């Protein structure tokens, strides 16, 4: 409480943003301290969606845990599946066939597209624009229907297995249609959103993320690349070997740059899908020899792997004592660090910008709480 | 101002497009045959692999003194529809049908019980 104008007392207001606020994309609770509309401090409160993913791993065998990892990030399940499978494959020296590698790239990039499309819709919805949400959901539906045909589910795929993929790729025509239609739709989004004066006023120079801050807060993924640091794991990933790929790097640092970077990433993903389709068409279906699901045991030791997920670097750490369950399993997810960044990024901003800034970081709460 | 107009025109264009949504309870979308929904079993030999690969403990069975499965249950309340049991069943005895409306007034509808190991 401080002395204000004409002897009136000036107090700060504590405001709970969430956990049921629709703009917090799940159950994020931000405890904001406000002076007028200005944010003096922000304390993110997480854990409302905690499911004990890491502890669960200590009870379930590797094959039982495989469908569970899809649920860490429900918008990009493939990435965590791939990460988990990759770690087991590396530990047991299982070699993937060329065709399976390319199928995995194809599915990962399609999954990235569906994730980014939902983000575009939800972000614009946060800012008060309703139409783009319906358009992006419509395009996302095409991708989800392809996933439904191929894997049997729209979001929890359980498609990658140790040593390959469950069944061979099919429905190539569906993918070709997505590649054909989506570029025009992205142009439509850009026409509606990119130069819209209201959108520009809400996002330009808002939530500026300096390079040093991004590095100190361990920010990765699109948020980092929109701040001008070129760091994309896909450049060195063994799956993406032989793919032509340019990481999207922008110098804008603000919420608008993060939006633009995701739009450009969509195009880059489409480009990768085209290459993957081309590579898949050159290989033939092979008879699959899967390792027996029961009795997978990792040799004693520690295992680490990482991948470029839509929300930043995702990594896994497994410590095994040679049993059929891990002794300890740890996930690193991109959103967790983005939530932590809000403490810094929201300081001195106005309350109505808080939603725009938090939205621009693409936070997914199941990934944060695990 | 120009950007705003271009945006509005693009939105306006959608007025003349066909609707993409369905009025759900009345109209239903045809699901892919591969869709993983409600479980059905037939031809079980009682090997027990499904129970070992199930992540949520939805499958339970009883065995007699000869180690033969006498009855088994699938608890759809616990099932997460991951399909592990279907993928690893050596006899292809478990099928998942594209049925997703599992709500029921009777809780026992969500528990699929089968008697005997060699038949359904």
Residues of A in contact with B52 (CB under 8 A): 61, 64, 294
Order of strands across the sheet with A38-45? A13-17, A29-35, A38-45
Residues B95-114 as b/e (b if ≥16 CB within 10 A, e otherwise) read ebeeeeeeeeeeeeebebeb
Contact B88/A at CB under 8 A: yes
Whether B32 and A145 lie within 8 Å, measured CB to CB: yes
> How confident is the model at residue A288, as a pLDDT?
67
- Supply angle C-alpha A303, A304, A310, rounded to 5: 145
Across the interface, of B6, B32, B84, the residue whose CB is closest to A149 is B32
Quick check: A286 and A164 in contact, CB under 8 A?
no
CA A73 to chain centre: 7
Whether B80 and A151 lie within 8 Å, measured CB to CB: no
* Domain ranges (residues) in chain B: 31-115
Contact B40/A at CB under 8 A: no
DSSP percent split of chain B into helix, strand, coil, nearest 5: 25, 20, 55
Q: Helix or strand or coil: residue B64? A: coil
Whether A68 and B55 lie within 8 Å, measured CB to CB: yes
> How confident is the model at residue A114, as a pLDDT?
92
Contact B94/A at CB under 8 A: no
Whether B3 and A67 lie within 8 Å, measured CB to CB: no
Q: What is the pLDDT of residues A326-366, one digit of tens each?
A: 999 999 998 899 899 988 888 888 888 888 888 888 888 88
> How confident is the model at residue B119, as a pLDDT?
46
Distance CA A89, CA A298 (A): 10
Residues of A in contact with B83 (CB under 8 A): 67, 152-153, 158
Which parts of chain A register pLDDT below 70?
1-5, 21-24, 287-291
- Mean pLDDT, chain B, whole residue set: 82
> How confident is the model at residue A23, as a pLDDT?
64
Quick check: A304 and A328 in contact, CB under 8 A?
no
Q: What is the CATH number of domain B31-115?
A: 3.30.70.3270
pTM score of the predicted model = 0.89
Contact B100/A at CB under 8 A: no
- Higher pLDDT: B25 or B120? It is B25
> How confident is the model at residue A1, as a pLDDT?
60
Contact B48/A at CB under 8 A: no
Task: For strands A312-320 and A328-332, give the pairing.
Answer: antiparallel
Q: Tell me what ipTM this predicted complex has.
A: 0.86
Q: What is the pLDDT of residues B67-93, one digit of tens each?
A: 777 778 888 888 889 888 888 888 888
Residues of A in contact with B80 (CB under 8 A): 67, 156
Across the interface, of B35, B54, B81, the residue whose CB is closest to A148 is B35
* Domain ranges (residues) in chain A: 51-187+208-331
In angstroms, the Cα distances linking B79 to A156, A264, A349, B41, B60 are 13, 39, 45, 14, 12
On the question of pLDDT at B120 being above 70, the answer is no
On the question of pLDDT at B118 being above 70, the answer is no
Residues of B in contact with A293 (CB under 8 A): 49, 53, 88
Distance CA A149, CA A163 (A): 22
Q: What is the CATH number of domain A51-187+208-331?
A: 1.10.645.10
């Amino acid at each position: 409480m401080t002395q204000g104008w004409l002897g009136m007392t000036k107090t700060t207001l504590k405001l709970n943003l969430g956990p049921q606020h629709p703009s917090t994309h799940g159950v994020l609770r931000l405890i904001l301290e406000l002076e007028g509309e200005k944010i003096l401090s922000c304390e993110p409160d997480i854990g409302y969606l905690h499911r004990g993913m890491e502890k669960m791993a200590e009870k379930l065998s590797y094959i039982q845990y495989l469908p569970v990892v899809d649920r860490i990030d429900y918008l990009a399940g493939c990435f965590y599946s791939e990460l988990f499978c990759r770690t087991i494959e590396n530990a047991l020296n299982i070699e993937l066939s060329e065709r399976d590698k390319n199928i995995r790239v194809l599915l990962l990039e399609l999954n990235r597209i569906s994730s980014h499309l939902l983000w575009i819709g939800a972000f614009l919805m946060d800012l008060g624009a309703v139409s783009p949400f319906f358009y992006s959901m419509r395009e996302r539906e095409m991708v989800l229907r392809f996933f439904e045909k191929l894997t049997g589910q729209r979001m929890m795929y359980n498609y990658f297995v140790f040593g390959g993929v469950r069944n061979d790729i099919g429905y190539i025509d569906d993918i070709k249609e997505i590649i054909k239609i989506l570029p025009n739709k992205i142009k439509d989004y850009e026409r509606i959103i990119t130069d819209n004066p209201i959108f520009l006023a809400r996002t330009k120079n808002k939530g500026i993320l300096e390079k040093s801050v991004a590095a100190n807060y361990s920010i990765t993924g699109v948020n980092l690349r929109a701040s001008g640091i070129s760091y994309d794991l896909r450049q060195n990933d063994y799956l993406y070997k032989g793919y032509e790929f340019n990481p999207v790097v922008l110098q804008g640092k603000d919420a608008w740059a993060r939006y633009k970077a995701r739009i450009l990433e969509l195009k880059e993903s489409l480009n990768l899908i085209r290459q993957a389709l081309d590579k898949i068409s050159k290989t033939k279906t092979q008879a699959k020899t899967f390792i027996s699901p029961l009795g997978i045991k990792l040799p004693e030791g520690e295992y680490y792997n990482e991948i470029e997920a839509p929300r930043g670097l995702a990594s896994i750490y497994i410590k095994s004592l040679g049993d059929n369950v891990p002794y300890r399993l740890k996930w690193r997810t991109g959103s967790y660090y983005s939530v932590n960044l809000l403490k810094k990024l929201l300081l001195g901003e106005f309350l109505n910008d808080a939603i725009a800034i938090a939205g621009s970081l693409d936070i997914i709460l199941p990934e944060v709480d695990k | 101002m120009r950007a705003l107009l271009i945006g509005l025109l693009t939105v306006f264009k959608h007025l003349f497009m066909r609707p993409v949504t369905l009025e759900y309870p009345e109209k239903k979308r045809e699901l892919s045959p591969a869709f993983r929904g409600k479980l059905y079993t037939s031809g079980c030999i009682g090997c027990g692999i499904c129970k070992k690969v199930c992540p949520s403990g939805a499958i339970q069975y009883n065995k007699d003194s000869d180690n033969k499965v006498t009855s088994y249950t699938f608890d759809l309340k616990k099932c997460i529809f991951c399909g592990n049991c279907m993928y690893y069943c050596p006899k292809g005895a478990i099928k998942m049908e594209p049925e997703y409306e599992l709500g029921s007034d009777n809780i026992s509808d969500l528990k699929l019980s089968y008697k005997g190991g060699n038949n359904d």
